[in-house]
Each structure stands twice: as C-alpha cells, then as structure tokens.
C-alpha cells in the first residue's frame, strides 16, 4: 500500500475527523514542503497560509452534506498555490478518513501570483469587476485584511480615495502614473498601477509614504523657523552698527550701549548656530566619542555658570564618584539645555539637579518649580523650535538639542509635569564605575 501511495503523481493525504494528518505520500510531502514523517499528527490547516485556514476548516465541515469539496489554497512553504479536493473515503463511528488530492495549480496566473506575494511593496491584483484576485502581505498591513480578502469587491470595500483608481485600472488600458493620495486617517499613500490587459489582471501598487511626508514637513518647518530665528539677532546687529555709523560712535555713552547690544546679539547668534550644528550632527548619525564622565564635577560646573533669577535657588543631589559612559560634549550640552530651560521657567522656588543609580543605569533629573506644561504640549516639547509661549525667551532649541544628544549617546529622555507645580526631565544613561 505504501508503494502504491508513493507511486501516485498527485499528493495524497488521509485526515481524521479533526483534520489531523494520519497518512501522507511522498508527493504530498514535497508539495507541502515537509518530510513525510513530520506531516503525520499535524493539522492540515496549520500547513497553509493563515488566510486560507478558515477555508480548510469549512471544507471539512461541508463534507457531511457534499461528497466532494474542492478548494484553492496556498501552502505555508513558499506560498505555493494548491488545489485541495476533499472526499469522504471511510467512515466509522470514531473517525472519518478523508482522501485529499493535492495538485499544483497550473494556470497562466500562477507566476503572477508568486510575483505579487514576493513583491516588497503592497500589490493588489483585480479582475474586471474590481474583485480582489490576490494580494500580498504588505497590502494586508496597509489596507487591512478585510479590504483585500480574495473575492472582495475592492471598488466598494477599499478606502474611498482608492476606489476610483481601482475602477480606472480595470476600465482603461493605460498605466497609472504614481500619484499621492491622502486618506481620511491622514496617511499618505503613493499609488501606481498597471491596467488590465486581455486575461491579465490589473495590478495596483501601493506604498505608505506617511513617514516620509512627516519628515519632509518637519524639515520645512525646521528651515523656516531657523531662518526666522537667525533673522532676529542679525537684524539687531545690523541696526546697532548702522546707528553707530550714523554718529553714535562719537558719543561714549551711546557707543558703549550699542556695542553691548551688538555683543548680546552676537552671543545669541553663536548659541543658535551651535544649537543648529549640534542638531545637524546628531541627526546625521555622527558617532560621538564615548568616555568615562564623572557627574558631580560636570554638574558643579554647569551650576557655577548658571544665572538664576533673583530668589531662585539651585540644589544639587549627586553623590561623589557617580559616573556614566557618555560623550562629555554631548552630555554637557544636554544637561546645560535642561538646566537653562528649568531656570527660564522658574520665577520662584528652586531648581534641583539629582543623579542616582537605577537598574544598572544612571538617572539624571532636572526638576523645576515653574508653571508646568499643559498635557496637550507634553508630547511636543522636544520638537525643534517648539515653544509653549510664542512670546517667551529663547529659540525653542534647548530641549530638542537635549533629546538629540541623549539619543546619540544611546540613552533616553522623558518628561513629567504637573500644571502649576513644575516639570521634571529625566535622562537615563549607562552607569560606569571608576576602577583603581
């Protein structure tokens, strides 16, 4: 009997009434991509693509009312297309043995199907009625399983923005050049297609470019804000120079006042340029040299250079010897930005800089007693040029610089805030210990 089964050109399986394989020939094992012995005891449904498993189970259930059930499924191994024929062969009170004929699907579209399934972008093949013939996993991810299920009318189930495109592809024999479509959920899709021709289906190619659009928008806003912020100190310097040249340079009091004005704007321009350079370097992925950094001396230097408002104190809670592995330059920039932000928003009370070991890492926290941050703004405070108060001081670069610097060192940063009580910014970096 074994020799007869293995001599059959088609794949043959026998299942019990639970769909478990109890016998298989060599051809069936080859088509399912498994050794014959490994097939025994496994459910047939577990060997086909996830989308096809309900069909296999329904096919077994329909055998009670039908002598023969034929299904088209795809094997889990290399997505091979198969035609499966169920037929009741033997019936006993305890078991229903089912003979299954597995024959490789041979039709003109088999190569097209294999191409679609392996294509890296989302691809949907449509018949002349815009029904889905086949779609790859990427299409399922972008559009959802229900939209691209085989046999579904894409012209009525797809997002509204794609329906007219699908109908155009099946009605007009002209390719669809790439175009971008914005869906109701704000996602942006780049869509192109090949029109149906003779017996070939229409092919719709879809790519989600939402992240790319978001990055381009952020870059445009970044450049626009950078130009605006650079213009302010440059205009101040230009005005002061013109005033000096018009005669103020000959009056000692006015000369000193406008020179101080030039110096102040030059310093602001330098800080802005340094901040932009820091952002550009970290966003470009430049490697920062990592070194052992003792935290208490670094924090003490930053506090010594700080200029709090009158009545605002700075408290340091950092034990001696506490250290981290980081870029000294980036860590200094990050902490300076966090301290500067805290002092800018604290008009009474104190700013606290604390550091402690925590689960093999060092947590550095800068806490202020300022007005706090509204919940709707918390998620945006690390965006370049974002300022909660448009009329406030600064350029909205400090927290963005801090976040980029921390991420460049492999750390993370977060913020917690209570409106009316203040905010806390915490940086977490690898802990280091001085040896010897």
Tens of pLDDT along the chain (436 residues) come to 567 667 766 778 888 778 888 888 888 888 777 888 888 888 888 888 887 888 888 887 777 655 667 777 777 765 566 777 776 665 454 454 455 555 444 444 455 566 666 677 888 888 888 898 888 888 888 998 888 888 889 988 899 999 999 998 888 878 888 899 999 888 999 999 888 876 778 888 999 998 888 878 767 766 776 676 677 788 888 988 888 888 888 888 888 888 988 888 887 787 677 767 766 666 666 667 788 999 999 999 999 888 888 999 999 999 988 999 998 888 988 898 899 889 988 999 999 999 999 888 999 999 999 999 988 888 888 877 676 654 444 446 678 878 888 888 889 999 999 998 999 999 999 887 755 5
Write down the residue that tokens 């779609």 correspond to: 135
Task: Please tell me whether residues 417 and 358 are part of one structural domain.
Answer: yes
| SS3 (DSSP) at 323 | strand
Task: Please tell me whether residues 270 and 296 are part of one structural domain.
Answer: no
Task: Please tell me whether residues 252 and 144 are part of one structural domain.
Answer: no
Task: Please tell me whether residues 201 and 222 are part of one structural domain.
Answer: no
Task: Please tell me whether residues 296 and 423 are part of one structural domain.
Answer: yes
Task: Please tell me whether residues 184 and 124 are part of one structural domain.
Answer: yes
List of long-range contacts for 260-266, beta carbons under 8 Å, 24+ apart: 261/236, 262/236, 262/237, 264/236, 265/233, 265/234, 265/236, 265/237, 265/240, 266/233, 266/237
Of the three residues 55, 79, 104, the one that is the final residue of a domain is: 104
**Cα(126)–Cα(130) distance, rounded to whole angstroms?**
5
Task: Please tell me whether residues 345 and 420 are part of one structural domain.
Answer: yes
- Give pLDDT, residue 139: 87
Domain count, the chain: 4
Do residues 179 and 162 lie in contact, with contact meaning Cβ atoms separated by under 8 Å? no
- Give pLDDT, residue 65: 58
CATH number, domain at 323?
3.30.565.10
Rounded to the nearest 5°, which phi and psi values hold at 121? -90, 165
Of the three residues 221, 253, 283, the one that is the final residue of a domain is: 283
Task: Please tell me whether residues 6 and 74 are part of one structural domain.
Answer: yes
pTM: 0.46
Of the three residues 104, 130, 165, the one that is the final residue of a domain is: 104
Full domain range(s) for residue 305? 291-432
CATH number, domain at 278?
1.10.287.130
Task: Please tell me whether residues 264 and 161 are part of one structural domain.
Answer: no
* Strand pairing category for 349-358 and 312-317: parallel
Task: Please tell me whether residues 415 and 324 are part of one structural domain.
Answer: yes
Cα torsion 280, 281, 282, 287 to 10°: value is: 160
CATH number, domain at 158?
3.30.450.20
Do residues 299 and 377 lie in contact, with contact meaning Cβ atoms separated by under 8 Å? no
Task: Please tell me whether residues 74 and 41 are part of one structural domain.
Answer: yes
- Give pLDDT, residue 313: 93
Task: Please tell me whether residues 317 and 412 are part of one structural domain.
Answer: yes
359 to 97, 217, 349, 414: CA distances (angstroms): 58, 38, 31, 17
């Amino acid at each position: 009997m074994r020799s007869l089964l293995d001599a059959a050109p088609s794949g043959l399986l026998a299942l019990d009434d639970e769909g478990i394989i109890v016998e298989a020939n060599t051809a069936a094992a080859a088509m399912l991509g498994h050794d014959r012995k490994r097939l025994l005891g496994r459910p047939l449904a577990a060997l086909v693509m996830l989308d096809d498993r309900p069909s296999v189970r329904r096919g077994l259930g329909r055998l009670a009312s039908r002598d023969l059930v034929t299904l088209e499924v795809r094997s889990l191994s290399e997505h091979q297309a198969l035609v499966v024929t169920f037929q009741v062969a033997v019936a006993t009170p305890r078991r229903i043995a089912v003979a299954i004929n597995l024959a490789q699907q041979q039709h003109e579209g088999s190569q097209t199907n294999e191409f679609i399934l392996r294509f890296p972008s989302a691809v949907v093949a449509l018949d002349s009625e815009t029904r889905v013939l086949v779609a790859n996993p990427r299409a399922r991810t972008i559009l959802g399983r229900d939209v691209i299920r085989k046999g579904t009318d894409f012209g009525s189930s797809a997002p509204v923005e794609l329906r007219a495109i699908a109908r155009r592809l099946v009605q007009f024999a002209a390719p669809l050049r790439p175009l971008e479509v914005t869906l109701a959920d704000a996602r942006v899709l780049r869509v192109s297609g090949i029109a149906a021709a003779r017996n070939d289906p229409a092919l719709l190619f879809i790519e989600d470019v939402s992240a790319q659009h978001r990055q381009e928008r952020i870059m445009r806003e970044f450049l626009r804000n950078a130009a605006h912020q650079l213009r302010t100190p440059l205009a101040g310097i230009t005005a002061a120079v013109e005033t000096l040249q018009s005669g103020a340079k000959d009056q000692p009091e006015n000369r000193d006042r406008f020179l101080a004005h030039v110096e102040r704007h030059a310093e602001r321009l330098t800080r802005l340029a340094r901040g932009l350079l820091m952002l550009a370097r970290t966003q470009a992925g430049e490697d920062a040299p990592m070194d052992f950094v003792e935290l208490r001396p670094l924090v003490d230097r930053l506090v010594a250079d700080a200029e709090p408002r009158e009545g605002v104190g700075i408290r340091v809670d950092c034990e001696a010897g506490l250290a981290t592995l980081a870029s000294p330059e980036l860590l200094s920039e990050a902490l300076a930005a966090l301290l500067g932000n805290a002092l800018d928003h604290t008009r009474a009370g104190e700013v606290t800089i604390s550091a402690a070991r925590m689960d093999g890492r060092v947590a550095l926290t800068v806490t202020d007693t300022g007005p706090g941050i509204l919940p709707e703004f918390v998620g945006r405070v690390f965006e370049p040029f974002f300022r909660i108060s448009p009329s406030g001081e600064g350029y909205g670069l400090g927290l963005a610089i801090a976040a980029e610097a921390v991420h460049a060192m492999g750390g993370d940063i977060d913020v917690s805030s209570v409106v009316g009580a203040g905010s806390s910014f915490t940086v977490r970096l690898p802990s280091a210990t001085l040896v010897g």
